[in-house]
Amino acid sequence: MTDPRENRRCNKILALLPRFIENDFTPEESAEIRDHLSSCPTCQTEYESMSRLLDTLDSLPSVGVPASFKDAVMRHIPPSRTPRKP
């Protein structure tokens, strides 16, 4: 990633990786990302790391939230103000 254009390309690809991992692109878009990953070791390493992380997160059990949680959060949010009319 020494060429500024390639650096911008890598930044774009890295930002798209979560959606790519979740298969959230058309086949054409996915092919473009795969092409970049096959030629860029830095992005390929980041992709592999992110894939492992997301797999680990997906394997964790869900945690229940107490019914009172929403009320406790809402008590800490200031009420919205109505804008004054001029």
Domain CATH code at residue 25: 1.10.10
Judging by beta carbons within 10 Å of its beta carbon (0-12, 13-18, 19+), is residue 14 exposed, middle or buried?
A: middle
Cβ contacts of 44 within 8 Å, gap of 6 or more: 37, 38
| pLDDT tens track for 1-33 | 457 778 899 999 999 999 999 999 999 999 999
- Quick check: pTM over 0.95? no
In a domain, 13, yes or no: yes
Distances, alpha carbon 58 to alpha carbons 11, 26, 53, 67, 81, in Å: 25, 23, 9, 24, 39
In a domain, 57, yes or no: yes
If one counts the domains in the chain, the total is 1
Please give the residue range of the domain that contains residue 14.
4-61
